[in-house]
Structure 1
Amino acid sequence: MMLLTRPGAKSGLHYIVEFHGKRVFDESLLGLKFDGQPPLGPGMKQVAVKPSQADETYTIPAGKTSQVRDHYNAIRADFEDDANRKLTVEIRAYDDGIAFRMIVPDQPGLKQVRLEKELTDFRFSKDAMTYPLLLDGYQSSYEDEYQARNVSGIHNDWLIGLPLLTEIPGVAWVGITEADIENYAGMYLRKGDERLALRTQLSPRIDHPSIAVEGDAPLTTPWRVLMIADNPGRLIESNIVLNLNPPSKIADTSWIKAGKTSWDWWSGDYAANVTFTPGMNTATLKHYIDFSAASGFPYMLIDAGWALANRKSPDDYAAVADITKFDPAVDMPELLRYAKEKNVKLWLWSHWTSVDKYMDKAFPLFEQWGIAGVKIDFMQRDDQQMVAWYRHVVDLAAQYHLMIDFHGAFKPDGLRRTYPNLITREGVMGKEYLKWSARTSPVHNTTLPFTRMLAGPLDYTPGAFGNANRETFVGRNVQPMSLGTRAHELALYVVLESPLQMVSDYPERYAGQHDFEFIKQVPATWDEVRVLGGRPMENITVARRSGKDWYIGSITNWDARTVRVPLDFLGEGKYTAEIYADAPDADQNATHTTFSTQPVDKTSILDVKMVSGGGNAIWVHPSS
């Protein structure tokens, strides 16, 4: 990346990005516009530059890799304009991308800042193919399908959520996102003034919609991240978003543990071969606790309805009530006793407004109860105030040894490095949509790893065993189906990253199903990740390592295909591959799989055959 200052018609601060000698972004703007002031950027001259570098390795309690290397070269360049206004630009160059941010020092005339917008834009060197998430506005849960559009075909009024995946033909794959959002507003993209340009757009404040960021100087923008690689799989392997955040503020992270959890919400009020009436009641929740215990899962998630807040108005979760008072149908003391007896820890759902009002007394009480974490829902904003609220929540939760799962959330920004108790979040159109639509299809599933997952883990809630093809699928609230084959569903546990991984279906759906052995076996956190092939909206194959074992997940869209999977990443010695594959008739009977084992080593190449909407899940472990 090169910084430029230009006089005349192109006056201002610009940057250029090249990859392997080819232009990725042409001269693109940098700058800021404050209320009542000329733009900060035009007319600036460089007055100082300081290079630096870093190379360190740190560990994280849960993620795509257990160890993370943070290796970059950096410069910090200071600029001034004719009015003696100052601006600093900091740039880091990694093997897997670059990042830059702007810093406005405390200075006369800018001691208090009211930022209207950033001037930064991204001017593509060619008409790139993009995969945008188009949003209706800034108050969004980031839940929609991804599109495929050339930059030149993007409409000026479209609001694009991040991350944005792009392919610049013959040049590079690029993921645009941001990292370390602190005391700032979330970033979006819109079509710029030029045909091949996108410009930044900031989420406005709720109290002052014409202003994005308000406060005292110094002001530091989040990192603007450009993940760059020669194929899209390398972007998935990157930890650049984590690396751009400060180190952990939690000294002892031993209580932060990844794991799988049963979940009472997905199946609706469904029951089979039980003596109790299903619903939000003690007997039903004990049934799920039993299921977690029998399956070796460390957690059970109790979703909406357990607290009085949710029972007063079942269809309006925004009702604010005391989340420490539970519904009469839920004997919480008994559930806590029972879960402890079964060696299962509980997670609790809550609406964010209730957390906002009661967290100071609820969080210490939850710690006394032995609660593992809180799933917090329906924020649907990333303005400056809400961004600050996220940080306050995870900081307070860490003090009481509570993990956090944000739902109705904006995209990750790497905050989980600083607060690793932020174990996962939604910010994605997940499996829940199949209860009322056919929108989370195999096409959507093959797109998510290359788009939303570039920013971090996603709570997509896999595990549905009522598998269906397009002809037999029916959206329904009770005993819902999934689109795609059973093997496709198993593979999602490898393809999609989430240290809190749901096992979403009703316990009896898994009874007597050999395929469930893969779900019980597959980890929720990893030591290493490799993407072995694929393209967005088409297919993907991911290999993840835990200890000496490897897990390989392959999924396809509605096109049947065979992919070759070389196992050259294996260590020396002999291994056994346990393979859960689409049965030959799985395109007609989506629940049908085949199971086989075969000896393999690092010279082996597997031919993975997938039917329409299909998949393949493999556990590779050293032979005894």
Structure 2
Amino acid sequence: MKAYPLYLGLVILVCLSFSACNTLPVIQDPMGYLKVKLSLTKDRQLQYNLTNRQGDTLIYPSNLGVRVNQMDLGAHIDKIQLKEKHAAADYMDYLFMLQQDDFQFELQIRVYGDAMAYRYRLSQPSDVRISGELSSWTFPQKSRVWYFERNSDWKLKSYAGLWMSTSVDSLSIVSTEGPIQGKPLVVETSRGEYISVSEAALYDYSGMRLKALGNRQVSVNFTEKQFSVNGSIHTPWRVTFYAKNLNGLIQMKNVLYDLNPKPNASLFADTAYIKPGRSVWSWWSKDAGYMSWQNEIKFIDYADQLTFEYVLLDEGWEKWPNKWQMLANYCRLARLKHIGVWVWKHSDEVRDPIAMNAFLDSVQHAVAVGVKVDFMNSEAKELIDFEKGFLEACAKRKLMVDLHGCQVPTGEARRFPNEMTREGVRGMELNTMGEPLPAWHNTALPFTRMIVGHADYTPMSFSKPGRTTWAHQLATAYMYDSPIMVMAENPGFILKNDSLRVVIPFIKEMPVTWDSTWVMPESKIGRLAVMIRKKGKVYYAVVLNGMNRKQKWQFKPLFLADNEVYLANELLDKPGSGRGVILRKESINKDVVIPFDLEPNGGLVVKIEKEINN
């Protein structure tokens, strides 16, 4: 999201009819980086196209409209009026009144310097039935598109596919399950630029899927054939993001966040309970004593030894005798070591509001800090309503939330800052299910799934890394965003393994939120991911090799201050081992060039801080 130096604070009210005109107004951001043009076909179908400042077409003419009560609004427009135009610091907002036969509705378009978003606004006195949208995108020729594969129905429900690419013309036939794809889609153009499509502010509506139509087109698709909404609803935003490079592409989540409403001032008057951190987790390794009292007490000790803030009790804790009393005791023992407790819950058991409130009251009474709610496995409106209600109910009790078995985020964490993370990703749990994640998937994630927001990937598996290396596993935790980072690996394996001793300081001090991040230009989706991240005064260079061969990478820390000496702690793979790491230390300045030979499917984490003179 491009930033502009001036807040214009201007609202212009105009009412212009274009029903008799051949041209409609050009819509653009304050600086003219992106332009949207509305048009009508000869059949009066409403369409738009999107171009950049250089005149390159990013989205070719594509339909607009929504199917309400079996009427295709947008398919035969009789009248368009520009009703409002609002200028803000970093976007322009346009509101059009549209009339089709006797039905009036509104189209709101917001244009940033790197994105355009639109939504439909209805004003009906009673509920209406939504049975589809005409909303579509037509991508440039000779482009490639990144999508997550879905060779089973479950993967579309839970967004749990591997990320891969195909030509944009093949998207309709590439999946064995049919032409429906999840979000986001990331298109790489023949010019080496990027266009991504997703949605923002998904509330009171069904989640957007994307149906590939062939001829470079995709259109909005829903889980249900139809669903009811309030007659005065604002639909979610349909978002098109544009970036000239990967460093720009990772900014998409900022636009999705901005398009969401602000948090309710009363509901979130006190946010002191919302604390990012790291959590240990016994489910992934499932020791012989899994979910026994003694085993879970051991995980409190592990969290303490690693200086983690949390412990997560996953499926099985409710089988404890007198579970609520035992949970209260467990939370009390954890608090003695300044550790908070999260608990897991199957969503089926709290769909009923009475059951939900009773469960959350008990969690609050036990003084747990958060709930991981699981297995929604759908973005049908019924489940979207459940997620919203669950976030609200938890906020009333000052509980944080981890949504698992669900769709990707659409910026909800702005409205509900107690949402700390959500899954919607093929993550590390697959390594313990006999389907280890390939390095190319991990290396694609920062520029595909992660561009729309936090992900409960549960990083770091040293005992079951698949074909990746230990340094690769550590680097995923440093590269992926999740304000609650749940570590997959059994901490005992780390703490008792001499070969991992040099990794422990990196795990103990690992940030989960960052002050700044930028992508290095040598990055390539699925092949090489290189990020520089900063927390406080400390920099980290984080690298993932997605190739099953060695790659050479040169570290040029030009971002460092002039005339300053820094200490670089370099955690890298032991050559040829896969399951070994070495720690190398050296003094550097901004002018050095450090060559690295990245191991096949490997990784690298370099911590850089000012050297302290003895």
TM tier, smaller: 0.7 to 0.9
**In structure 1, the residue corresponding to 2:140 is in which secondary structure?**
coil
Q: 1:100 to 1:607 in 2, by over 3 A?
A: farther
Q: 1:198 to 1:599 in 2, by over 3 A?
A: same
Question: 1:553 is matched with which residue: 542, 566, 571?
Answer: 542
Residue 490 (structure 2) pairs with residue 506 (structure 1): yes
The residue type equivalent to 1:561 in the other structure is Q
Residue 293 (structure 2) pairs with residue 282 (structure 1): yes
Cα pair 1:237 1:530 within 8 Å, conserved:
no
The residue type equivalent to 2:560 in the other structure is L
CA distance in 1, matches of 2:565, 2:270: 38
> Cα distance, 1:265 vs. partner?
0.9
> Cα distance, 1:622 vs. partner?
2.3
Question: 1:31 is matched with which residue: 49, 55, 65?
Answer: 65
Aligned equivalent of 2:567: 576
Q: 1:594 to 1:113 in 2, by over 3 A?
A: same
**In structure 2, the residue corresponding to 1:347 is in which secondary structure?**
strand
Matches for 1:40-189 after TM superposition, within 5 Å: 40-55=74-89, 71-81=90-100, 83-106=101-124, 111-135=126-150, 136-137=152-153, 140-155=157-172, 157-170=178-191, 172-189=193-210
Structure 1 residues 515-544: Cα deviation after superposition (integer angstroms, max 9, x where no partner): 121111111111111111412211101122
Question: 1:296 is matched with which residue: 288, 307, 315?
Answer: 307
Structure 1 residues 415-473: Cα deviation after superposition (integer angstroms, max 9, x where no partner): 0111111000111111111123344111110111111111111111112122xxxxxxx
Q: 1:325 to 1:146 in 2, by over 3 A?
A: farther
Q: TM-score under structure 2 normalisation?
A: 0.87
Question: 1:17 is matched with which residue: 42, 47, 50?
Answer: 50
Aligned equivalent of 2:234: 220
Cα pair 1:261 1:300 within 8 Å, conserved:
yes
Cα pair 1:92 1:98 within 8 Å, conserved:
yes
Q: How many residues align?
A: 558
Q: 1:75 to 1:600 in 2, by over 3 A?
A: farther
> Cα distance, 1:17 vs. partner?
0.7
CA distance in 2, matches of 1:25, 1:566: 36
The residue type equivalent to 1:398 in the other structure is A
Structure 1 unmatched runs, 5+? 56-70, 205-209, 271-277, 312-323, 467-479
Question: 2:394 is matched with which residue: 397, 401, 411?
Answer: 397
Structure 1 residues 598-622: Cα deviation after superposition (integer angstroms, max 9, x where no partner): 2233444443321101000111122
Q: 1:571 to 1:243 in 2, by over 3 A?
A: farther
Matches for 1:347-496 after TM superposition, within 5 Å: 347-357=342-352, 358-466=355-463, 480-496=464-480
CA distance in 1, matches of 2:459, 2:411: 23
Question: 1:346 is matched with which residue: 326, 341, 350?
Answer: 341
**In structure 2, the residue corresponding to 1:2 is in which secondary structure?**
strand
The residue type equivalent to 1:491 in the other structure is A
> Cα distance, 1:268 vs. partner?
1.8
> Cα distance, 1:122 vs. partner?
0.5
> Cα distance, 1:40 vs. partner?
3.5
CA distance in 2, matches of 1:537, 1:506: 28
CA distance in 1, matches of 2:200, 2:594: 38
Question: 2:246 is matched with which residue: 222, 229, 232?
Answer: 232
CA distance in 2, matches of 1:153, 1:25: 18
Question: 2:531 is matched with which residue: 542, 557, 565?
Answer: 542
Aligned equivalent of 1:336: 331
> Cα distance, 1:288 vs. partner?
0.6
> Cα distance, 1:230 vs. partner?
0.9
> Cα distance, 1:293 vs. partner?
0.8
Q: 1:331 to 1:366 in 2, by over 3 A?
A: closer
CA distance in 1, matches of 2:602, 2:41: 56
**In structure 2, the residue corresponding to 1:332 is in which secondary structure?**
helix
CA distance in 1, matches of 2:592, 2:118: 42
Cα pair 1:532 1:565 within 8 Å, conserved:
no
Aligned equivalent of 2:596: 608
> Cα distance, 1:103 vs. partner?
1.3
The residue type equivalent to 2:334 in the other structure is A
Cα pair 1:137 1:159 within 8 Å, conserved:
no
Cα pair 1:463 1:502 within 8 Å, conserved:
no
Aligned equivalent of 2:506: 518
Q: Percent identity?
A: 26
CA distance in 2, matches of 1:196, 1:482: 36
Structure 2 unmatched runs, 5+? 1-34
Aligned equivalent of 1:257: 275
CA distance in 1, matches of 2:425, 2:157: 11
> Cα distance, 1:365 vs. partner?
2.4
**In structure 2, the residue corresponding to 1:147 is in which secondary structure?**
strand
The residue type equivalent to 2:277 in the other structure is G
Cα pair 1:465 1:482 within 8 Å, conserved:
no
**In structure 2, the residue corresponding to 1:8 is in which secondary structure?**
coil
CA distance in 2, matches of 1:36, 1:260: 49
Structure 1 residues 37-93: Cα deviation after superposition (integer angstroms, max 9, x where no partner): 3443422432224221223xxxxxxxxxxxxxxx22222222223x24222221222
Q: TM-score under structure 1 normalisation?
A: 0.85
> Cα distance, 1:247 vs. partner?
1.2
